[in-house]
Amino acid sequence: MLFIIFFVFISGILINYFIIKNYKNLNLNILLDKEYSKPQSFHNQPVLCFGGSSIYILFLIIFLFFDLKFFNHFFLLATAAFFIGIVDDLKMKLQPLVRLILIFVLFFSIIKFLNININDFNVDFLNKFLKKYYYLELIFITFCFVFIINGSNFIDGFNGLLTLHVLIILLILNFINYYFSNYDLLIFGAVIFFAILSFAFFNFPKAKLFLGDSGSYLIGALISYLVIQTSNYNSNIPSFFFCCLLYYLFFEVFFSFIRKFFCENKNPLTPDKNHLHMLFFSKINGKRKLSNPNFITGFSINLLYVLTLIPIFYFYNNNLFLKYYFFILITIYSVCYYKLRKH
């Protein structure tokens, strides 16, 4: 296990370093993001969006040379997510609705092929209803993937915001699998953790690489799959524990859709600058121009995220508390958003 982790970590660093130093010679200029006018852009110089490609290359090496349980299934999901995202990274634009439909259809097919399921929803009517109708359960699981994939894409773009967020989630999942002796899942999660960590060195605090759509989609698929497997292998932990763990990624998408469609009367698939992290960025930057507000945004939001998770560790097996606390978390998000938007 230690050899695999060491190999993954060092290989990831070398791949990313090589790309940064040689992207011009490799004719990768097309992966430079120069579209500063995009609503989601918060940089003023070209950014190399090769993070998704470098992580995928590393996963391909793992897939070819190491026999890890869970990795074959994961790699198929990662490949689908990566190639949908690389279309945008290579400036071959897909309409948002077309991309959303493509993600849904492709992941529905793969989830069915791999027979991915959720053992217990910890909600009686969902257990009775979805377990009775197989294809409805598949649709529900596919929507889980779609929400987390899009949530990952929404919060990408700030130094370390998505990368640190994912590392925090992976650390928690790995601790759970270690504590409950799920060692195959722990090894898989640890390998993924160090693969992402090898990229984080080039993304935070000063970003030399960004994930791009290919990287954010890949990471969203990774988190979705690992959370489902960890939930299935740890039946003593209610599913609402994992809902709380993913509340920021999930609710970012749900809230944005409701806000745009019902409150702002515009296409919910159209990008804008009114996401929580963007408002937070504008607030802390304000009239006082900070030296690196991008880095401060990523760090601060993740620090607040960790603080909001503390109660779930004390009540990790209390399903009723976790249900209520999930709604408390999305209420906290909503109040913070309202306060930031108001000012």
pLDDT, tens digit (0-9, with 9 covering 90-100), for 26-48: 666 555 555 544 544 555 556 67
Question: 165 versus 203: which is more confidently predicted?
Answer: 165
Type of residue numbered 72: N
pLDDT in tens, 276-313: 888 888 887 765 566 666 778 889 999 999 999 999 99
pLDDT in tens, 204-236: 877 778 888 899 999 999 999 999 999 999 989
**Mean pLDDT value across residues 151-157:** 87
186 vs 173: CA distance, rounded Å = 8
Query: The tokens 């071959």 sit on which residue?
Result: 92
**Of the candidates 55, 37, 20, 6, the residue with the CA atom closest to the CA atom of residue 206:** 20
Other beta carbons within 10 angstroms of residue 162's beta carbon come to: 29
* DSSP-derived 3-state class of residue 32: strand
- Residue pair 246/190 in contact (Cβ under 8 Å)? The answer is no
227 vs 333: CA distance, rounded Å = 22
State the pLDDT confidence band at 7, using cuts at 50, 70 and 90: very high
73 vs 115: CA distance, rounded Å = 10
Residues in the chain: 343
- Residue pair 202/40 in contact (Cβ under 8 Å)? The answer is no
pLDDT in tens, 44-70: 556 677 778 889 999 999 999 888 888
pLDDT in tens, 73-107: 999 999 999 999 988 877 777 788 899 999 999 99
Which pTM was predicted?
Answer: 0.92
Q: What is the pLDDT of residue 313?
A: 94
Spatial neighbors of 230 by CB under 8 A, at least 6 apart, are 173, 176, 177, 182, 185, 189, 242
- Residue pair 269/157 in contact (Cβ under 8 Å)? The answer is no
Other beta carbons within 10 angstroms of residue 66's beta carbon come to: 14
Q: What is the pLDDT of residue 1?
A: 73
- In percent, the amount of the chain with pLDDT more than 90 equals 54
